[in-house]
Structure 1
Amino acid sequence: MHNRYSTHLLPQRERQDYWREVIENAYFPLELDFRNPSEFHGHLSQWQMGRVGISRMESSATCFTRVKQQIDESEPYFLITVPAQDQVRFSQANRTIVCNPGAFILERSDLPYEFSYSKDNALWVVRVPVSLLQTRIRQPERFLYMEFDKSKGMGNVFFSFLRTMVQQASYTNEVAHDILSSQLIDLLAHSMENDDRVLMSNEANLRNVHLRNIEAFVRDNIQRSELSPDMIAVACNISTRYLHKLFKDSDQTVGQWIKELRLQSALNDIRAGNRHTTLAEIAYRWGFNDQAHFCRLFKSRFGCTAREMREAK
């Protein structure tokens, strides 16, 4: 799906209200403050690739504010913003970051924030459901409020792939869109996880290397029902005791993280809408040997059964 919106042919007096409606439909409710209302212009192109939304926006200087009263989402999102023309300023949770062209930042949609640029600007925005990114990155919140380089290395590969997806969107079908969006998230994760500041943050580099190895092994083996802390420890050449110690500072144990990863992956499959795949097949695909146990866990986690979730689509 590709939509285009522009103020180009509208009278100047109608442009602000029109643009507010465009932004709300493309993202979510926001308050807009136009820095030069009498000369405002805007253009937005939007693509839906599976559950990932991609947009390119060009507009006059604007301040976007997300207030608490506007936050009522059943599915929160991460936003990856890539300024292409001039710097942007982002403030959230008492943190402020300036992102320059040649870089990108990660933001949360379900917290109040202020986002602005003081000159005409062009930017790419990728909208990813929180649950989808969490199946690829453990605790993606640790990457918030950091500026990541897109000019070289994995950041450049991520951004180049993003543009290629958009260029080929009209030549690819929905099945391909799901595959491509999954690969885009993989590239995003690699570009952030391989940032030197992330590798050297918090504790010694060795601890972070162990965590990266653990996360990679679990992602590669999450479909195996026998996956366990002991198996992970052996594969990563650490003791089970040390494995649990590495997770001590997080809000989940190893077992809880694996269960959450499996449930979120199953949820993503159900939301993808492939009716030819049974719920039992989805359960087994993500390491649940007992379908009844899967159904109980799913309802406890998401407040409805897997069947109800599928029928609600």
Structure 2
Amino acid sequence: MLIETAFCTRDVLAPDRFSCWREHISQTYVPMDVEGDHPADTTVSQRILALGAVQLWTMEHSPMTLRRTQKLIQQSDPELYHLSLNLRGTMGLTSSGHEAEYEPYDLVLHDTSQPHLIRATASHGEDTTLGTGLFIPRKLLPLPEMAIDSLIMRRLSAREGIGTLLAQFLTQVTRDSGSYRPDDGPRLGTVAVDLLSALFAHALDVGDSLPLESHQQALLLRIRAFIQANLHDPQLTPRTTAAAHNISTSYLHRLFQHEEETVAAWIRRQRLERACHDLADPAQRTIPIHAIAARWGFPRAADFTRAFHSAYGMPPKDYRNQSSQHCRADSC
């Protein structure tokens, strides 16, 4: 299971819930002041998953206002970008004299080093708002800081393209957090950064205006996001990936020459890791192994078994049985 920190007002007596939540959030590494619309009826449920240096948060709560003041920034400034994905209700954001509102499936970036105010309002007929997002150290994003800063408070869509892929990743990792191991956290954090960087590169429409190195990095991020979205396609190869990005196969290989793996090896590992996850999932125990293999781009069972054995030292059937035994021992 991923390392998780949770807070829930259900664990607190009703009269003390608002003050307890206010004290809790004032003592985090990104402290904020809180004003509740109806403090006596405060409801908060917050989860934070550790993905290496990246933090994935999900929060459902009553309508409220959260302020990050200059005084609180001086108290603690971890120098993070804060990405929010609104899932229910309306989120208003005020920073540097600008105001904007965000509806469900809008993505917005802001800077924890700048004073800002977040106003969360429930939809008609609802009592709470719901959102998820990321805290990302600035140094982890490969694009120029000036370019990223131009995206602060800009509305980005999670309804299409890379935004949808990022939203699906955030919600799926949160939903399935119990099926991952703690050492999966940093790898998932890398995926999150790759997807976010690819989204930003797309939003910036980076091109010849950026230095060659930054342009190549942005292209590489787009390519990784494309691969992750098309792992199910058995026709996904370096050649088809290059064609989809209007570059030559040789140029694609040059982009990966300073990476730890070749593009073909990276595609194979991504497929195997997802198949590995599904084989270890008790909820998918009845799904035939060949069906899981086909789901992740291995239409030939023999090819999958050979690749899996080479990567994990055992056939996929033995891996599934071993995972099932561990699960029973741990009372999954």
Q: TM-score, normalised by structure 2?
A: 0.58
What amino acid sits opposite 2:207 in the alignment? V
Q: Distance in 2 between matches of 1:166 and 1:129?
A: 20
2:4 matched to 1:2?
yes
- The 1-side partners of 2:78 and 2:39 are apart by 33
For residue 57 of structure 2, the aligned residue among 55, 59, 72 is: 55
Q: Which amino acid aligns with 1:150?
A: A
Change (3 A) 1:220 1:157: closer
Paired position in structure 2 for 1:104: 107
The answer for the alignment partner of 1:122 in structure 2 is 130
Which of residues 165, 178, 194 in structure 2 aligns to 1:157? Answer: 165
Whole-angstrom distance in 1 between the partners of 2:40 and 2:183: 44
Q: What amino acid does structure 2 have at the position aligned with 1:62?
A: M
Task: Report the CA distance between 1:105 and its aligned residue.
Answer: 0.2
- Summarize deviations over 1:108-160 as a string: whole Å, max 9, x none: 00111111113220111311111222x34543211101010001111001111
Distance in 1 between the 2:89 and 2:77 partners? 33
Q: CA deviation at 1:213?
A: 7.4
* SS of equivalent to 1:143: coil
1:211 and 2:235 aligned = no
- Are the aligned partners of 1:33 and 1:62 in contact in 2 as well (CA < 8 Å)? yes
Of 166-175 and 99-108, more deviation after overlay is shown by 166-175
Percent identical: 14
Q: Of 177, 185, 191, which aligns to 1:183?
A: 191
Q: Which moved more, 1:116-125 or 1:104-113?
A: 116-125
Find 1:172's aligned residue among 180, 199, 202.
180
Contact (CA 8 Å) 1:89, 1:115: kept in 2 or not? yes
Counterparts in 2 of 1:5 and 1:75: CA distance versus 1, 3 Å: closer
Residue 86 of structure 1 and its aligned partner are, at CA, apart by 0.9
Residue 25 of structure 1, CA deviation: 4.7
Matched, 1:38 2:36: no
Contact 2:30-2:77 within 8 A present in 1 as well: no
Give the match for residue 94 of structure 2: 91
Correspondence for 2:153 among 125, 145, 165: 145
| 1:43-66 Cα distance to aligned partner (Å, 9 max, x none) | 111111100111111111100011
In the other structure, the counterpart of 1:132 is 140
Match of 1:280 in 2: none
Q: Matches of 1:143 and 1:125 in 2, distance apart? A: 16
- Report deviation, 1:176: 2.7
Change (3 A) 1:85 1:218: closer
Task: Provide the residue aligned with 2:320 in structure 1.
Answer: none
After superposition, give the CA deviation of every residue in 1:148-184 in whole Å (9 maximum; x if it has no partner): 0001111001111222333443333444322221121
Change over 3 Å in CA distance of 1:136–1:167 after alignment to 2: farther
**Counterpart position of 1:301:** none
- What count of residue pairs does the alignment treat as equivalent? 210
2:67 paired residue number: 65
Asked if 2 retains the 8 angstrom alpha-carbon contact of 1:26 and 1:46, the reply is no
- Whole-angstrom CA distance in 2 between matches of 1:8 and 1:108: 31
